[in-house]
Amino acid sequence: MDKILDVKNLRISFRTNNGTVKAVRDINLELGKGETLAIVGESGSGKSVTAKAMLGILAPNSIIENGEIVYDGKDLLKLSEEEFHDYRGNRISMIFQDPMSSLNPIMRIGKQLTEAMILNGKANQRAAKKELSEKTRLLTKAMLGAASEGGAITSAQVNSLTTQFKEISSKAIRLSREFGRAYQAAAECRDELALYITDIKKDDPKSLVKEMKETAGKLSKVFSPYVVEEGNTSYKGKAETFKGLASAYRKQDQADELTAAMKDLKDELERQIPQEKPDFFAMAYYLMKQPGAQVHQKDIKALNDKTQAYLEEHFLKEFIQATAAGLEYSSKTSLKAKKAALDALKKALPVYEKEKLDKGECERTAASLIHLVDQSIDRLALKKENLPYVFGTSLHSAIKKYFEGIPHNRKEEKRFANDQAKYEKNAAKGRDIGKPVPALLVDLDLEHSNMIRIVKNLSDLYESQTAQNAKADYNEMAREMIHHLYQQETKVVHKVTKGMAKHHAIELMEEVGIAEARKRYNQFPFEFSGGMRQRIVIAIALAANPDILICDEPTTALDVTIQSQILELINKLKEERKLSIIFITHDLGVVANMADRIAVMYAGKIVEYGTADEIFYEPAHPYTWALLSSMPDLDTKEKLEAIPGTPPNMIHPPNGDAFAARNKYAMEIDFEEQPPMFEITPTHHAATWLLHPNAPKVEPPKIVTDRIERMRKLEVDANE
């Protein structure tokens, strides 16, 4: 499983007047690519806090005490607000419980959908440009390195290849831009005409004429060798007819004539708009080498085949070879650097393991370590490893917290002692001035162990990496790299205009199942029903094409049929877009449909996690049993087993298992010591002492075992 998001030892608390509320206590999660991870628990169990931390939208009184959330080689917890703009909404999106509160009531749906697209469009273009130049630079450097070591290629070859590559890509970008403009204009005209044809009978001529004028303006922008050819007289004639009729349109009885003209024009456009996109990179090369060549043909597939074959033969073969050599060189140098870094890490470990830490020594060692680790990263690898990327920031912040914590703790303790004395003095006089706010101390032991862990984790990783001698297929990697560069090129070209954003927004609205999207585009949120509103929110969340979608109880406010529609929609989008989803809910019935894996949370801790089958068919933690037994299904007849009491006060979380007080299976040790995570199967873990070898054998409640038996039987029946 490819990990896409990694939550490690996350610990979050909230500062309140009564003390710190420990909302999340040391949780570890990982999210695989294309997977749905469900987080289940009662309200107040810390589900939403975890999700909000991933998006950097925690309340201002929150304290992130510890941990990392690693995504794409960055620790999200240590990003600045400015840096977070690249991630929030763009790479990681969120759907909230109540659709109405996440929509602006006085803004049209269309505006809300396109707003972010237009803002993000430019940023994406910039980012792609940067990535393209950065990767090309690194690649050239690696290739030259490989050449200097006397590989199959010489540095002269490398220079000529890279200059060629740069020239081709800039030409390709130019060509692609021209095509994009014309294609977009044609597609917009076609769609707008379709709209007018359906609405002409209903709409007021005056407003329609205004809109049609705008469309008519676009009609001359569609000329391009691959969309509508300049010499296409039949198109021009139809466009003129439409323009003339549209500007003369005053009364409804002229509608039929106009409709016919529009249909003609639309059909013409549909015939002309190509289904496929030309491969501009290949074409640019072809044009460069054969300047007089005739490439103005309508059959784009044949054109692509021809130019691609030409490119492959004359340029790509050599280029791939060079790239592969470069990649090999880069990964080898990185391996060498890793070995050096590993030695340094091993040597540095005693510095941090000392009983009494020396600030200067710690910082000096850290600086040299960070430098070494930084050099050991293979920056050409498309798959980023998390640990080395976040090593620097994590180690720095742990050291900083530790040494800043020492004087801070002293100050806080003094303040608390003063406040306490004042309070007691007043209390003795019978005056009530309110209890003093407890001291907010930095956990020094934790920070210390963090430093050791950070160094040790990386050294373990490097040890395993340097030990294994896997043979990589550099040619395959080179192809991937070139594909990646292509993608960046297309992104550089992809400029988001207002019209495009509208087009995209309407596509999105249709994708999430909103009928008559064009009409709905101009409506306000209050004109939508609950389910439709949630669909809009999903469309907005998907607008920037995120990798990860966090759904925070997206269906709790909806009723059964709508709920099931929205869940189906989320599942469909997940398949189509290869999304990774974090699904937060308290309803286990909903989860069964969605989740690949489930984490059950209670009082800020994960008490059980495993695959959906394991949680539903072999639940192990008493809290999971309680959750399962407290909800009736269609065959439940017996009294429901409600969970007695309420969750514990998280200002003073209990010492042992937090669920012990409400657990009828609780043993003495549950009240004294926190149970560790016991492994049941490699994918299934639960934190309960019942799994200890010395624990008595306990059966889940009857209502749960009965149901599981029934489900098993149903399964057998269905298979027959």
Partner 1 sequence: MSKSHAENEVLLKVDHLKQYFKMGKSELKAVDDVSFEIRRGEVFGLVGESGCGKTTTGRSIIKLYDITGGNVYFKGDRIAAGTRSYDDRIKELKAEAKASGRNVSDEIAALKKERAAARYDHKHADPKEVTQIQMIFQDPIASLNPRMTVREIIAEGLMIQGIKDKKFIDEKVYEVLEMVGLVREHAGRYPHEFSGGQRQRIGIARAIIMKPELIIADEPISALDVSIQAQVINLLNDLRASMNLTILFIAHDLSVVKYFSDRIGVMYFGKMVEMADSDELFEHPLHPYTKSLLSAIPLPDPHYEKRRRRIVYKPDEVHDYSREQPQLREVRPGHLVYCNTEEFERYQKEAGAAGGSASAKKA
Choose between 156 and 560: whose C-beta lies nearer to partner 1: 560
Least Å distance, CB 520 to partner 1, is: 18
Least Å distance, CB 612 to partner 1, is: 4
CB 591 within 8 Å of CB 585: yes
Least Å distance, CB 31 to partner 1, is: 19
Least Å distance, CB 400 to partner 1, is: 39
Choose between 221 and 586: whose C-beta lies nearer to partner 1: 586
Least Å distance, CB 641 to partner 1, is: 7
Torsion angle defined by CA atoms of residues 529, 534, 538 and 540, in that order, rounded to the nearest 10 degrees: 60
CA angle at 69 for the pair 31 and 343, rounded to the nearest 5°: 105
CA 555 from chain centre, in angstroms, equals: 20
Choose between 467 and 716: whose C-beta lies nearer to partner 1: 716
Choose between 391 and 602: whose C-beta lies nearer to partner 1: 602
Least Å distance, CB 595 to partner 1, is: 8
- Longest CA–CA span in the chain (Å) reads 101
Least Å distance, CB 636 to partner 1, is: 5
CA 138 from chain centre, in angstroms, equals: 26
- Show the tokens assigned to 380: 């050409």
Least Å distance, CB 675 to partner 1, is: 20
CB 623 within 8 Å of CB 663: yes
Least Å distance, CB 558 to partner 1, is: 8
For residue 227, give the nearest of 280, 272, 193 by alpha carbon. Answer: 272
Phi, psi of 332 (to 5 degrees): -70, -45
The interaxial angle of helices 386-428 and 359-376, nearest 10 deg, is: 150
Q: How far is CA 451 from CA 12, 53, 637, in A?
A: 18, 22, 55
Least Å distance, CB 42 to partner 1, is: 5
Choose between 206 and 639: whose C-beta lies nearer to partner 1: 639
Q: Say which DSSP state 290 is in.
A: S
CB 548 within 8 Å of CB 582: yes
Choose between 142 and 598: whose C-beta lies nearer to partner 1: 598
Q: HSE (CB half, 13 Å, CA atoms) of 594?
A: 34
For residue 551, give the nearest of 591, 578, 520 by alpha carbon. Answer: 591
Least Å distance, CB 485 to partner 1, is: 40
Choose between 106 and 634: whose C-beta lies nearer to partner 1: 634
For residue 480, give the nearest of 609, 380, 403, 629 by alpha carbon. Answer: 380
CB 654 within 8 Å of CB 648: yes
Rg over alpha carbons for the chain, rounded to the nearest Å, is 31
Choose between 114 and 585: whose C-beta lies nearer to partner 1: 585
CA distance 265 to 199: 17
Least Å distance, CB 185 to partner 1, is: 38
Phi, psi of 601 (to 5 degrees): -110, 145
Pairing between β-strand 62-71 and β-strand 74-75 as defined by DSSP bridges: antiparallel
- Beta strand ranges found along 671-718 (DSSP E): 678-681, 684-686
Residues that bind partner 1 (CB under 8 A): 42-43, 529-530, 558-565, 567-568, 586-593, 595, 612-613, 616, 626-634, 636-637, 639-644, 646, 707, 711, 714-715, 718
Choose between 467 and 634: whose C-beta lies nearer to partner 1: 634
For residue 49, give the nearest of 69, 34, 31 by alpha carbon. Answer: 69
Pairing between β-strand 548-552 and β-strand 580-585 as defined by DSSP bridges: parallel
Choose between 159 and 571: whose C-beta lies nearer to partner 1: 571
Least Å distance, CB 703 to partner 1, is: 10
For residue 458, give the nearest of 372, 380, 379 by alpha carbon. Answer: 372
Choose between 150 and 645: whose C-beta lies nearer to partner 1: 645
Least Å distance, CB 616 to partner 1, is: 5
CA angle at 172 for the pair 169 and 175, rounded to the nearest 5°: 155
CA distance 305 to 268: 26
Least Å distance, CB 308 to partner 1, is: 41
Contacts of 408 (CB under 8 A, 6+ apart): 442
CB 668 within 8 Å of CB 655: no
Q: How far is CA 98 from CA 94, 101, 105, 552, 567, in A?
A: 12, 6, 13, 9, 15
Choose between 169 and 555: whose C-beta lies nearer to partner 1: 555
Choose between 445 and 575: whose C-beta lies nearer to partner 1: 575
Q: Please count the other Cβ atoms lying within 10 Å of the Cβ belonging to residue 484.
A: 14
- Sole residue written with tokens 């090593």: 391
Least Å distance, CB 720 to partner 1, is: 13
For residue 71, give the nearest of 156, 120, 2 by alpha carbon. Answer: 2
**Rounded to 5, what percent of the chain is helix, strand, coil?**
60, 10, 30
Least Å distance, CB 606 to partner 1, is: 17
Choose between 284 and 628: whose C-beta lies nearer to partner 1: 628
Choose between 30 and 587: whose C-beta lies nearer to partner 1: 587
Choose between 156 and 642: whose C-beta lies nearer to partner 1: 642
- What's the burial of 515, exposed, middle or buried (CB within 10 Å: 0-12/13-18/19+)? exposed
Choose between 428 and 634: whose C-beta lies nearer to partner 1: 634
CA distance 719 to 543: 41
